[in-house]
């Protein structure tokens, strides 16, 4: 990106814990390189072009980091010496500000804040001894952001090429209070085996995240192109003209919006209105059919059966569910009646209840995986009739 030579660099991308394999598949599909999975991240090698492409196009990753250092370290002085031996001039301009974010997992005699401060000091010192310039720290709106992770004694330093997480999609004007992260919605679609063109149904669509992510995928839309604060645009190693050229090429490769075989149903008219607003904000008005309807009586709503059903039904008392097993059993029965032979992928918080309801209603459970939704567990369950 800064010259003719394509230098191979090391990167890691962060994602939801439990969805690392989906992120690795996406890296393979977009860049043609193998990515190695780790807890909530994947590691791979690519070029700066590859890094830009992934930022513009990826749908399962949160942030993409250039890996600057990975080393065994368990004390602050060891961390300081790992960071201090790095050179930072090619990443930060003299006039730019920076910040360090820190994440710590395991038992240590210091806090994440201590670690961030140590790494920050080491960066300032390394830069000052190479250039004579003392870098400015700006914790709220830095030009350049580093991430320091310490997992037991595995220390990683990365340069954030993304900025705010890519799960903040450009189209999400209306949020459902139990809305799904678009990265999870996209990952569920991939786990379900859905391919663009196959009739798809989300019978509990809320503000439309799953159907909109499906439409984005089907039309080859690059969500990161619309991200407002993509960090790489401020990083000096990326050439602005080349980024523009790549953005233009990717925009040209997007398909024109057209009606797709994707349906979202929700019992709440307010949710359907929100889904329509989000669809319009995505630039995809008319591509998805959103309908007010009862998931327990889908045959009254659907004109054609779907081949794949992907959804996250309401859970818990907060969503008004007094008897979840009966509710889910009726919903899964309705899906079976309305879409015979379809595959079903469902996100649940109480897997035992959902599995029982699937079995009560004649579905065979094919697989289950645990993911982390913040600090709580969610379970993606696949079933077939």
Ligand X SMILES: C[S@@+](CC[C@H](N)C(=O)[O-])C[C@H]1O[C@@H](n2cnc3c(N)ncnc32)[C@H](O)[C@@H]1O
Residue among 125, 277, 135 at smallest CA distance from 206: 277
Sign of CA dihedral 328, 333, 338, 339: positive
Q: Residue 308 CB, nearest distance to ligand X (Å)?
A: 15
Among 50, 163, 206, 223, binds ligand X (CB under 6 A): 206
Q: Based on CB atoms, which residue is closest to ligand X, 203 or 224?
A: 203
**Residue 37: strand pairing partners:** 42
Spatial distance between the Cα atoms of 122 and 80, rounded to a whole number of angstroms: 6
Q: Residue 315 CB, nearest distance to ligand X (Å)?
A: 7
Among 11, 56, 91, 204, binds ligand X (CB under 6 A): 204
The pattern of x and - marking residues 162 through 201 that bind ligand X according to CB under 6 A reads --------------x-xxx---------------------
Which helix (H) or strand (E) element contains residue 217?
Answer: helix 209-218
Spatial distance between the Cα atoms of 175 and 177, rounded to a whole number of angstroms: 6
C-alpha dist (Å) from residue 68 to 87, 148, 334:
9, 10, 52
Spatial distance between the Cα atoms of 312 and 92, rounded to a whole number of angstroms: 43
Q: Tell me the window of 103-111, 255-263, 265-273, 299-307 that interacts with ligand X (CB under 6 A).
A: 265-273
Q: Residue 239 CB, nearest distance to ligand X (Å)?
A: 37
The pattern of x and - marking residues 266 through 305 that bind ligand X according to CB under 6 A reads xxx--x----------------------xxx---------
How many residues in the chain?
385
Q: Based on CB atoms, which residue is closest to ligand X, 63 or 169?
A: 169
**Residue 365: strand pairing partners:** 383
Q: Is 209 in the site for ligand X (CB under 6 A)?
A: yes
Q: Based on CB atoms, which residue is closest to ligand X, 131 or 360?
A: 360
Among 210, 250, 282, 354, binds ligand X (CB under 6 A): 210
Q: Is 46 in the site for ligand X (CB under 6 A)?
A: no
Q: Based on CB atoms, which residue is closest to ligand X, 239 or 294?
A: 294
Give 171-174's long-range contacts (Cβ < 8 A, gap of 24+).
Answer: 171/212, 171/278, 171/279, 171/281, 171/282, 171/283, 171/284, 172/207, 172/209, 172/278, 172/281, 173/277, 173/278, 173/281, 174/207, 174/274, 174/275, 174/277, 174/278
Q: Residue 362 CB, nearest distance to ligand X (Å)?
A: 19
Q: Based on CB atoms, which residue is closest to ligand X, 149 or 311?
A: 311
Q: Residue 105 CB, nearest distance to ligand X (Å)?
A: 28
Q: Is 306 in the site for ligand X (CB under 6 A)?
A: no
Q: Residue 343 CB, nearest distance to ligand X (Å)?
A: 18
Q: Tell me the window of 1-9, 100-108, 250-258, 306-314 that interacts with ligand X (CB under 6 A).
A: 306-314
Q: Tell me the window of 1-9, 142-150, 191-199, 264-272 that interacts with ligand X (CB under 6 A).
A: 264-272
The pattern of x and - marking residues 307 through 336 that bind ligand X according to CB under 6 A reads -----xxx----------------------
- Residues 6+ away with beta carbon under 8 Å from 356: 325
Burial class for 281, CB neighbours closer than 10 Å (0-12, 13-18, 19+): middle
Q: Based on CB atoms, which residue is closest to ligand X, 92 or 298?
A: 298
- Which residue's C-beta sits nearest to ligand X? 206
97-105/144-151 β-pairing: parallel
Q: Residue 209 CB, nearest distance to ligand X (Å)?
A: 3
* DSSP 8-state code for residue 223: G
E strand intervals along the chain: 9-14, 36-38, 41-46, 63-72, 97-105, 136-137, 144-151, 154-160, 200-202, 262-266, 289-292, 308-311, 343-348, 364-373, 376-384
Task: Report the interface residues with ligand X, using CB under 6 A.
Answer: 176, 178-180, 203-207, 209-210, 265-268, 271, 294-296, 312-314
């Amino acid at each position: 990106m800064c010259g003719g030579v394509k230098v191979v660099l090391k990167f890691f991308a962060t994602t939801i814990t439990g969805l690392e394999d989906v992120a690795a598949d996406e890296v393979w599909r977009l860049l043609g390189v193998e990515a190695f999975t780790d807890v909530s991240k994947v590691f791979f090698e690519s070029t700066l072009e590859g890094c830009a492409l992934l930022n513009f196009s990826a749908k399962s990753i949160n942030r993409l980091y250039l890996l600057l250092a990975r080393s065994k370290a368990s004390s602050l002085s060891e961390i300081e010496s790992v960071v201090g031996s790095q050179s930072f001039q090619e990443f930060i301009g003299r006039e730019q500000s920076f910040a360090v974010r820190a994440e710590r997992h395991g038992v240590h005699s210091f806090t994440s804040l201590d670690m961030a401060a140590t790494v920050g000091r080491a960066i300032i010192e390394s830069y000052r001894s190479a250039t004579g310039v003392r870098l400015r720290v700006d914790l709220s709106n830095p030009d350049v952001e580093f991430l320091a992770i310490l997992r037991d004694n595995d220390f990683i330093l990365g340069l954030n090429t993304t900025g705010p997480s890519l799960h903040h999609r450009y189209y999400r004007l209306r949020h459902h209070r139990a809305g799904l992260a678009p990265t999870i919605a996209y990952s569920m679609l991939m786990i379900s085996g859905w391919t663009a063109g196959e009739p798809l149904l989300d019978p509990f669509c809320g503000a439309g995240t799953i159907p909109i992510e499906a439409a984005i995928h089907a039309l080859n839309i690059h969500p990161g192109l619309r991200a407002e604060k993509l960090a790489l645009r401020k990083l000096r190693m990326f050439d602005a003209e080349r980024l523009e050229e790549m953005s233009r090429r990717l925009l040209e490769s997007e398909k024109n919006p057209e009606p797709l075989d994707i349906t979202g149903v929700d019992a709440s008219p307010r949710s359907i209105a929100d889904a329509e607003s989000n669809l319009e904000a995505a630039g995809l008005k008319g591509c998805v059919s959103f309908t007010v309807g009862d998931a327990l009586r889908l045959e009254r709503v659907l004109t054609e059966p779907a081949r794949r059903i992907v959804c996250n039904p309401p859970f818990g008392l907060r969503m008004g569910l007094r008897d979840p097993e009966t509710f889910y059993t009726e919903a899964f029965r309705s899906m079976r009646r309305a879409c015979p032979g379809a595959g079903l992928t469902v996100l649940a918080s109480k897997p035992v209840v959902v599995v029982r309801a699937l079995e009560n209603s004649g579905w065979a459970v094919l697989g289950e995986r645990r993911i982390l939704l913040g600090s709580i567990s969610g379970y993606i369950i696949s079933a077939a009739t």
